[in-house]
Amino acid sequence: MNYMETAKLLGFSDAAIMNTRDLVFKPEYRKFCEENRCGCYNVNPACPPKSGTVKEMMQEALKYQKTLVLQTIQDKDMDYKKAKLSHNKLTEKLALQMVDSGNEDILIMSAGPYKHYSCMSAYCVDAQKMADAVGMACWGTDDKIRYFSQILFEPCGSKI
């Protein structure tokens, strides 16, 4: 299964694979969770503090060798909650396909908390540096909103 090709066929705007060790973690980003900007702090088990400390979450992420970076691009006039939900549903669908193809050990970082998945912010991932590393735009002047998620995995001999 070619993960990037499958992601694009599902509807992602872009997809790329990077080494997980190249992700940049910024522990100071945890303050955004603590400020409860999304309303899920200390409510959703996938969110801090229940999800774990920054160090614990970073250690869990770094157990995986590869990261599949997923992006969708939406017009600013679209309902951002629906767009984010759609992005997360696509991420979950792709993850299930990866599991079905034999890659059972994966970790999802969603675009905002989703079900039992912690978001990239809870993991304190620097989205700009991640996007730069794979050649994707994170912010733009084109009236578009870009959503990101990740599926961390171990290569299992399949075509990635």
**pLDDT tens digits for 116-133?**
999 999 999 999 999 999
Higher pLDDT, 141 or 23: 23
Sheet of 14-19: strands edge to edge?
Answer: 14-19, 66-75, 144-153, 106-109
Dump pLDDT digits (tens) for 1-47: 999 999 999 999 999 999 999 999 999 999 999 999 889 999 999 99
Cα dihedral sign, 75-7-97-113: negative
* pLDDT greater than 80 at residue 157: no
DSSP classification of residue 42: T
91/60 Cα distance (integer angstroms): 19
Q: In sequence order, which residues have a C-beta less than 8 Å from that of residue 125 and are 6 or more positions away?
A: 23, 24, 25, 26, 29, 61, 109, 150
Q: What is the pLDDT of residue 158?
A: 52
What pLDDT shows up at residue 38? 87
- The pLDDT tens digits of the residues spanning 77-98 come to 888 889 999 999 999 999 999 9
